[in-house]
Structure 1
Amino acid sequence: MKLKSLSLFLFILFLTKVNAQSAQDDVLFSVGEDAVYASEFIRVYNKNLDLVQDESQKDVDEYLKLFTNYKLKLKEARALGFDEKPSYIRELSNYRKQLAKSFVTDTKVTEALIEEAYQRISYDIKANHILIKIDENASPADTLLAYNNILKLRNRALNEGFDVVRKEVHNGQTIFGEELGYFSGFKMVYKFESAAFNTPVGEISQPFRTRFGYHIVNVQDKRESRGERTVAHIMVVKNEADSLAEKPENRIQDIYKKIQQGEDFEALAKQFSDDKATAPKGGMLAPFSSGQISVQKFEDVAFGLKSVGDVSEPFQTQYGWHIVKLYNKKPIPAFEVMKPELEQKVKRDSRSKLIDEALYNSLKEKYNITTKQPALKYFEAILNDDYLKGTWKLPNNFEADKPLIKIGDKQFYFKDFGAYLLGKQRGVDAKSTYDAIVLKQYDAFLNESLVTYQEDNLENENEEFAYIVEEYRDGLLLFDLMENTIWNTAKKDSVEIHEYYNAHKSNYTLPKQVDAVVASSTKQKTLKKVAKLLEQGMALEQIKSLVNSNDKVEVIFTTGIMDSTHQALPKGVSFKKGLSKIYNHNNAFVVVEVKEILPETQKTFDEAKGAVISDYQTNKEEKWIKGLEEKYQVNINQQTLSKVKSQIKNQ
């Protein structure tokens, strides 16, 4: 009985798995004669779920509508032959090759290099170096001479002091003695970086070679990385449009005095910062680490603030005047957080050669490639001095169709390596022997062939790679189709666009604006005094001289053309000529003097052109989709859709 019960349980389990699988493999809908399976829809839906900002698109029915439109467009793109365009084929091929590089790699070595890189970016090294410059392809005699000279300089540096020797020998042409300051991982070529990080503080490295020549490094200090800073800033720039506007250096000093008086930094940023992107957020910037801010002075000030809450004095950069407040200090992020970024850097860096070597070795093992290649003797025998001159040709009796090596199911012949030799004969060192030339070229040929074979077969071996290529293939088709059918309408449909504008003019207007003066103060009593003076017609500079003092700023004015969304204007302020009541706005009191009202006006076609074209294209696309639905009938399998909804709900 127990055996029968177990058999029944296993049979039910098997049926459950079959039914679950069939829900994935069922046809969800068809576009014309093309079937679209539930598995594809579920995969794409789940992948994009966290990316969509419109909550309606998370609804399965709404997303299905978008997905069917997507498939309709792809159907049309293929019907119009966009997938046969040489430019499309070329771009897809280039993308596939580039993508394959990220999949064809040795993961163990890559992981080790990523971990090493994380350790190195966690610290800054301060070092000086001496370099004897020498060409990468220098002769053995010149190489030995350079090595002996750098060794002599190291011995002198040990006895006389590194900086003494460094300054003495530097000529800026053949010998360089430089102060490098602080640097971290990825800031130097890998060999230099390794020598610096592996040399103890206070010591001088052994001579080592990079592509620049022979170096010795003196490590002076090693400190933990400065990590990440979160700051807010208030920025004031010169108002070129208003010749009467006060100088930015005076305005920033007034704001700084208000901060020193205890007024809220965020409120002042909202009222007075000219950085429109950050002002509504109280001046807050996204967190950044050393090297991410393009303005060095700004970065130095930000990292120079010691404690959270500290505020800098006003300082000037090429963008204007700033005051910075420190909100958070964070060390280097955790390894797992930084890992994706570090992986990309490692693969672009010179240390990637270590990854390449490991990859070649693993592919040789995977495809059972032996290190012995008897055929190389044949190629050594057919080389002559013409190869060194770059004029060598294959002999008339060349054994072109003789098998050379087999990688997977692909057979390579003598003619393949022969062609490779022909193409690589220029730039060969004239002092190389034939056997050395053939061995070097064969190693390069074999490595390239191994990687190419692996890349060509990736879609059969790696499901993720196949999905990404498919998505790019379809995305590229869709882009070409939309560009030619909808997005280029500005050039083709000028008459229709003007007609669309005339039919929808009410959608394109400039809002009501005012030419106004806004006075702001944290003290209501002060602002009442300012309001009276404004009412009397007193000049702003005169009012400031009466209300403010050298030590204390009680009022700041903002002038210009403003609409209701302007940061200086309180919500609900009436656009009426004259002086407004006193409002509470951004933790301060403000009063508005409206000098002139600029009514809402109709935008001309040229003023509204960008918005008109965008709206016209949207309208045209909606009509176009309806036409595609009539051209290619869409049939949805409601039974499969119910299964899909159930599966998504239970995830």
Structure 2
Amino acid sequence: MSVKHLCIVILVFVFSCSPKALIPQETLQDNTPKPLLIIGNEEVFSEEFLHILSKSREFQTMDEKLTSEEFEKNLALFINFKLKVKEAENLGLDKVEEFDREFEMFKEDLIKPFLIKNSLQEGELMKAYNRMQEVVKASHILLQFPNNASREDSIAVFRMAEKLKKEAEAGADFNELAAKYSDDPSAKENKGSLGYFTALQMVYQFEDAAFSLNPGEISSPVLTNFGYHIIKLEDRKPNPGEIKVSHILVRTQAGDPVSEERALRKIGDIYTELQKPESIWEEVCQAYSEDLGTKNTGGNLPWIGVGAVLPDFERVAFALTEEGEISPPVKTLYGFHIIRLEDKKPIAPYEEMEAAIKSKILRDSRSGLIQSQVLAMQKSKFGYVENEALIEEVKKVYTENQKNNIQEIVSQKQLLDSTLFTITAKPKTVGDFIGFTKADRQNVRITGEGYFKSWFDKFIEVSLNEAEEADLLANNDDYRLLIKEYRDGILLFSLMNEKVWQKALEDSLGQQNFFAENIDRYQWKERVNALIVKMGKDESAPAVKKFLSDKKLLPNLQDRLENTFLDKDPLAFTMEEGIYELEAHPVLKKADPTKTFQDLKIDGKVVFLVLGEKVPAGPKKFEETRGKVIQDFQEYLEKDMVRILKKNYIIRINEDEKQRVFETVVNR
């Protein structure tokens, strides 16, 4: 988040900071809402004031309620806030391109929790996390489609899948069927066995089917991008979480029996060596492991969960129970391993895993399924009705003509004002669609279905999203008030930046004049030139004290002190030298200003002081206090702006409405 965005957030939370407080709405609701304020000709309702107040308090108990003074102060601040927003609007700050860009960026984030998509996404996140509490073991048979498969080819593959399912259910060995018929290249080795896995480790359709089975059950054919799968669930058990292991590896060469026999003898000798009480794992690993990436770090591997490594390695690693326990040699595709358990932990809480789960879901096929559900729910909720005949006619125009000629052709056919579809009974015309494609504000990937279908699907999606946003603004008070809060916050930032902050920073003459007119604010109290030595080591204190006790504060004293002591021991003490106000400095205010040298004990540490010339009280130079002048000048400009705004805009307060709010939020 940029500094500017942070400032906007701070401004919109000017009255408070907690976003989840509640107002007892039934107390405040009225069939005919009346404004709390009228500023100029704009009505401002109680709900907006209460929305801001409720950021810090719930007003459900007496302890949370305001005092009368707090209520009046907050109301005054709110009026000033609305005055500034009104002025920003009158200056046209809500019409500039930068405002639109900032507001759209904030809206994009603010609307997310309120959308249909968010609730569906949250459901998928929780479903995935709940599934992650288990691991399942399954085998599968994959039947792929031939290249350029026809509809008849697809049906034939499906029927073959059904045939194999029936054979397996009739008693045929599932793994032998996989070895004979599966198009998965690994099936020749593993006979279709996938080992254990959990959620988000397989494509969604496969995962969904596997987790719906009971051990021993065989699924109906499951279609994925790889083809049709028949899945047999073999086991399901609680997820053991993650483990951290280290290993020693002796590599083998595939298909070389001599290499494998030599590796087996070597790993056996290493295992024997590790059984000796005097053996040290790290030393043995460094001497013999052939995993060059880990041999010098004790063979340490990253945390692993079920399904993250080769099944043979995983099976042995997860069978270890005690930290430091060492496995017998285990063979994998890489060679022979000896595995040591270093640590284990259960599956993390949902809050810790939410971001990672969401990232995975948004990258897999689930995201497309969620979007399909969103569109279906939006179409139902907002009364989507399409003109199928017209859509086909426009599609034909796009298919048979150059895109540059589309508008002219459609215009000749008198179709520009024809309705492609309606949402909430509002038409979207052919002209609207053409304008949408020409605006080129959307990132549309052209699929195999062609230019028109790709753009038309995006047009429907954007139109439905706009309808959902409009519905939220009209019917969801929480969203509407939140959007208004941030909109007004951006305008407030723009106004303050233009009329107060930047003006005070850039107006050097104004700074000088303000300084001169308010010189009484910028006065030094009595000061003294001082060298302050804070001891870091008490054993050096006597020598330093002896050195300083008869010295005057001369310009070279600090250098002499450093050369005498710090060259030998840089941590003996720290020093600071300058002109300080006696009353304001935490050390000097405890000192005796009449003594040139003195030693003090502050917070258990020895401190030596050498005092020099005193400087009487008097005015500061502008350069000495410029930062404070600018800060005060900004405060002055803001107060002056509010004073002028109160003259320029008539403010009327509805006393009856104010009293109603007062009775709700004030502790009496």
Task: Name the TM-score, length of structure 2 as normaliser.
Answer: 0.52
Query: Which whole-Å CA distance do the structure 2 matches of 1:120 and 1:575 have between them?
Result: 74
The separation in 2 between residues aligned to 1:59 and 1:92, in whole angstroms, is 31
Aligned residue number for residue 47 of structure 1: 55
1:535 maps to which of 549, 553, 560: 549
Aligned to 1:406: 422
Per the alignment, residue 115 of structure 2 pairs with 104
2:230 — aligned with what? none
| Alpha-carbon distance change, 565 to 522 in structure 1, aligned in 2, over 3 angstroms | farther
Are 1:623 and 2:640 matched, yes or no? Answer: yes
Tell me how far apart the structure 1 counterparts of residues 474 and 114 of structure 2 sit (CA, whole Å): 13
Which residue pairs with 1:594 in the alignment? Answer: 610
Q: What is the CA-CA distance between 1:528 and the residue it aligns to?
A: 4.8
Relative to structure 1, the CA distance from residue 506 to residue 592 in structure 2 (aligned partners, 3 Å threshold; closer, same or farther) is farther
- Look up the SS of the partner of 1:199 in the other structure: coil
1:144-223 alignment to 2 at 5 Å?
Answer: 199-203=307-311
Aligned residue-pair number: 452
**How many angstroms does 1:220 deviate by?**
8.5
- 1:65: how far off? 1.5
Q: Which amino acid counterpart does residue 476 of structure 1 have in structure 2?
A: I
Partner AA of 1:583 in structure 2: K
Judged with a 3 Å threshold, the aligned counterparts in structure 2 of structure 1 residues 56 and 461 are, in CA distance, closer, same or farther, namely closer
Contact kept? 2:88, 2:495, Cα under 8 Å: yes
Q: Give the aligned partner of residue 264 of structure 2.
A: none
Deviation per CA, 1:257-288, whole angstroms, max 9, x where unpaired? Answer: xxxxxxxxxxxxxxxxxxxxxxxxxxxxxxxx
> Equivalent residue of 2:84, what SS?
helix
CA distance in 2, matches of 1:386, 1:428: 17
Deviation at residue 454 of structure 1 after TM alignment: 1.7
TM-aligned CA deviation for residue 40 of structure 1: 3.1
Deviation at 1:471, TM superposition (A): 1.6
The alignment status of 1:489 with 2:503, answered yes or no, reads: yes
Cross-structure match for 2:598: 580
Name the CA shift for 1:440/1:81 in 2 (closer, same or farther; >3 Å): closer
Matches within 5 A, 1:23-172: 25-49=33-57, 59-85=70-96, 87-89=98-100, 91-93=102-104, 95-97=106-108, 99-115=110-126
Aligned partners of 1:427 and 1:603: how far apart in 2? Answer: 66
Superposition map of 1:205-244 within 5 A: none
1:519 aligns with 2:542: no
In our comparison, the structure showing a higher alpha carbon Rg is 2
Mapped to 2, the partners of 1:182 and 1:576 lie a distance apart of: 68
Distance 2:129 2:623 in 1: 53
Q: CA deviation at 1:498?
A: 0.9
**Counterparts in 2 of 1:477 and 1:380: CA distance versus 1, 3 Å:** closer
Q: Please say if residues 56 and 62 of structure 1, whose CA atoms lie closer than 8 Å, have aligned partners that are also in contact.
A: no
- The alignment partner of 2:55 has SS state of helix
Find the counterpart in structure 2 of residue 446 from structure 1: 460
Distance 2:84 2:132 in 1: 47
Listed one character per residue, the Cα deviations across residues 349-403 of structure 1 (whole Å, up to 9, x for unaligned) are 777555434322322332455899455543454345766xx76746465444443
> In the alignment, what sits opposite 2:157?
none
In 2, the alpha carbon distance for the partners of 1:601 and 1:386 equals: 85
Q: 2:111 is paired with a residue of what secondary structure? A: helix
Q: Which amino acid aligns with 2:665?
A: I
Rounded to whole Å, the distance in 2 between the matches of 1:87 and 1:380 is 37
CA contact (8 A) 2:68 2:667 kept: no
Q: Let me know the Cα RMSD of the aligned residues.
A: 5.7
Contact 1:23 1:640 in 2 (8 A): no
- Structure 1 residues 593 and 335, CA, compared in 2 at 3 Å: closer, same or farther? same
Q: Measured at CA, do residues 58 and 561 of structure 1 come closer, stay the same or move farther in structure 2, by a change above 3 Å?
A: farther
Partner in structure 2 of residue 470 of structure 1: 484
Q: Mapping of 1:420-439 within 5 angstroms?
A: 428=446, 432=448, 438-439=452-453
Q: Tell me the amino acid that sits aligned with residue 614 of structure 1.
A: Q
Task: Name the residue aligned to 1:641.
Answer: 658
Structure 1 counterpart of 2:165: none
Measure the CA separation in 1 of the matches of 2:562 and 2:361: 60
Amino acid at match of 1:451: N
Q: What SS does the corresponding residue of 1:36 show, helix, strand or coil?
A: strand
Q: Is the alpha carbon distance of 1:367 and 1:29 closer, same or farther for their aligned partners in structure 2, counting shifts above 3 Å?
A: closer
Q: Can you list the C-alpha shifts for 1:436-475, whole angstroms capped at 9, x where unaligned? A: 6554444333223222322233211322221122222322
Match of 1:382 among 391, 397, 403: 397
Q: Deviations over 1:395-423 (max 9, x none)?
A: 46544444322222222334445566777
Indicate if the aligned counterparts of 2:436 and 2:459 stay in contact, CA closer than 8 A.
Answer: yes
CA distance in 2 between counterparts of 1:220 and 1:437 reads 52
Q: Is 1:559 equivalent to 2:567 in the alignment?
A: no
Determine the C-alpha separation between the residues in 1 that align with 2:406 and 2:359: 41
Contact kept, 8 Å, 1:97 with 1:455, in 2: the verdict is: no
- C-alpha change, 1:412 and 1:540, in structure 2 (3 Å) is closer
Q: 1:504, 1:475 → 2: CA distance?
A: 32
Moved more, 444-453 or 371-380: 371-380
SS of corresponding position for 1:487? helix
Q: Take 2:185 and 2:609, find their aligned partners in 1: how far apart are those partners?
A: 79
| Structure 2 equivalent of residue 258 of structure 1 | none
Partner residue, 2:374: 359
Q: Provide the rounded CA distance (Å) in 2 between the counterparts of 1:120 and 1:498.
A: 68
Q: The residue matched to 2:510 in structure 1 has which SS?
A: helix
- Deviation string for 1:547-606 (max 9, x for gaps)? x9xxxx9x8311233657999958724467754234141xx3313142656857865424
Corresponding letter in the other structure for 1:641: K
Distance 1:104 1:182, change over 3 A: farther
Give the Cα–Cα distance (whole angstroms) in 2 for the partners of residues 120 and 565 of structure 1: 66
Structure 2 match to 1:608: 625
Task: Say if 1:403 and 1:411, in contact at 8 Å, map to a contact too.
Answer: yes
Does the aligned pair in 2 maintain the 1:577–1:596 contact within 8 Å? no
The 2-side partners of 1:445 and 1:106 are apart by 17
CA distance in 2, matches of 1:426, 1:647: 51
Q: Secondary structure at the match of 1:405?
A: strand
8 Å Cα contact 1:403-1:413 kept in structure 2: yes
- Tell me, in whole angstroms, the C-alpha distance in 1 between the residues paired with 2:251 and 2:381: 52
SS at match of 1:517: strand
Unpaired segments of 5 or more residues in structure 2? 1-23, 59-65, 134-146, 150-182, 192-248, 255-291, 295-299, 321-342, 552-559
State the match for 1:461 in structure 2: 475
| 1:59, distance to aligned residue in structure 2 (A) | 0.6
Amino acid aligned to 2:381: K
Stretch deviating more after TM superposition (65-74 or 480-489) = 480-489
Structure 1 pair 606–37 and aligned structure 2 pair: CA distance change class (3 A): same
Partner of 2:518: 504
